[in-house]
Structure 1
């Protein structure tokens, strides 16, 4: 059993690993390192301390901390990891700076959800990767809280700010703005942006943009535009992506929908 997958989304690096008996020499990272243990037990050495991380454990290491360890020989071990530059993590969470106080927390549900979001980040589908980045960003608040970092209360952005971001998304459907650009537009951290927008709309910004894309696709198909042209005009990666999202929203393929409304 040996599988290691890596992806980079801007400053965020994610990894998913399934290995047997992997051991790491003592080393350090320039970035914050967040891990979620999904299978097996990891023995950890961290700056002179030794402890174990079992299934459902989340580990949080500060930049520069010396770490080492791994799984026992022959033992299956699966985990996901996040690597975030110090300034990037602090900015994402709305802090000038931060440091994890606790390196270990037992949070099985959070570990499972983090793994699900990392899998999305590793997808070949660009839309799923974007959704994965949003999901990981939202989970950083819970990870930080469990590691002893207290975040400032999220400032409500109000309906006018939500409407401004919705207008930005609507004007750029062919290419959804990055989280960094959206956060700059509203003057919020990415974490608070996502939480506030979701509170007002029930959707993340990219989910909201996707429902608008599919709604506009429906209108263009009704007017007789070919599905391939619709996909291109609205920023879908290709026609198959349009098909998948349109069917998920309306329960029917674009081609079938077009045939029905023409009948």
Structure 2
């Protein structure tokens, strides 16, 4: 069954993801204002790019610079499934800590990376806000890996000391109901999104959002011990609703908030 799903990431335009099943489809020659990165999951695509033709089967990642003339597709009787990222030039450069960039290589066969990208896109297209955020984080880290493979050199920007990560942890912990975006956290530290995630994970072992979520569930446990109803706990700590609290509390502690409170009596 053919179909196309799209989602925009972040508060500003400039980063979109797509998941497509378009058996027997082909695209006329065209171009984009954005960088386009696609991972082929099923089907044997023939790609036309700036006068050259090449094959892109399952596990192949293709990259297109803004303005490049492209086209392609699969034979009429073939299934075709792929995911794509569309990133404004200034958005991608900022995410990776660069002033500008251009992909040197248009294609590479990287099955593990292609299917990791597809998994992250599926998370972004899902209904759970926390899972969508995890997908966005994963895509940011994968973009850096894709950029290196396709011939883009990343800057050496980084956190100079653990104190800056500790400052971000304090800032997040001060108001757990506030859930800043990756861009807001990166701005707070003066880093790109990629270097924020890489530096935080290297020091803490979790992404900033994962770390904040485990702190929220820990504080939820304390509030439940104090006798606060689960609905109030969810509101106090910025969970979308009580079911959102239930899901993450159970994942962390093996019981629901209600069962936890009953066990205390």
Q: Pick from 156, 159, 169 the counterpart of residue 153 of structure 1.
A: 156
CA contact (8 A) 2:83 2:121 kept: yes
Verify the 8 A CA contact 2:157 2:191 in the aligned structure 1.
no
- 2-structure distance, mates of 1:239, 1:41: 46
How does the TM-score come out when normalised to structure 2?
0.96
TM-score normalised to structure 1 length = 0.97
Secondary structure at the aligned position of 1:20 is classed as coil
Q: Is the 8 A contact 1:157 1:196 kept in 2?
A: no
Distance 2:132 2:214 in 1: 17
Match of 1:190 among 188, 193, 217: 193
2:7 — aligned with what?
A: 7
**Is 1:84–2:87 an aligned residue pair?**
yes
* Aligned mate of 2:124, from 108, 121, 125: 121
Cα distance between partner residues in 2 of 1:230 and 1:41: 51
Runs of 4+ in 1 over 3 A off after TM superposition: none
C-alpha displacement at 1:74, in angstroms? Answer: 2.0
Task: Name structure 2 gaps, 5 residues minimum.
Answer: none
Q: 1:157 offset after TM fit, Å?
A: 3.8
SS at match of 1:25: strand
Spell out, residue by residue over 1:187-221, the C-alpha distance to the aligned partner (whole angstroms, 9 max, x if none).
Answer: 11110110000000000000001000100111111
How many corresponding residue pairs?
262
Root mean square deviation, CA, Å: 1.0
Among 6, 23, 36, the alignment partner of 1:20 is 23
Greater mean alpha carbon deviation, residues 145-154 or residues 203-212: 145-154
Q: Distance in 1 between matches of 2:215 and 2:67?
A: 44
**Is 1:225 matched with 2:239?**
no
Please show how residues 237-252 of structure 1 align to structure 2 within 5 Å. Answer: 237-252=240-255
Quick check: 1:213 aligned with 2:216?
yes
Deviations 1:76-101 (A, max 9, x none): 11111100000010111011000000
Structure 1, gaps ≥5 residues long: none
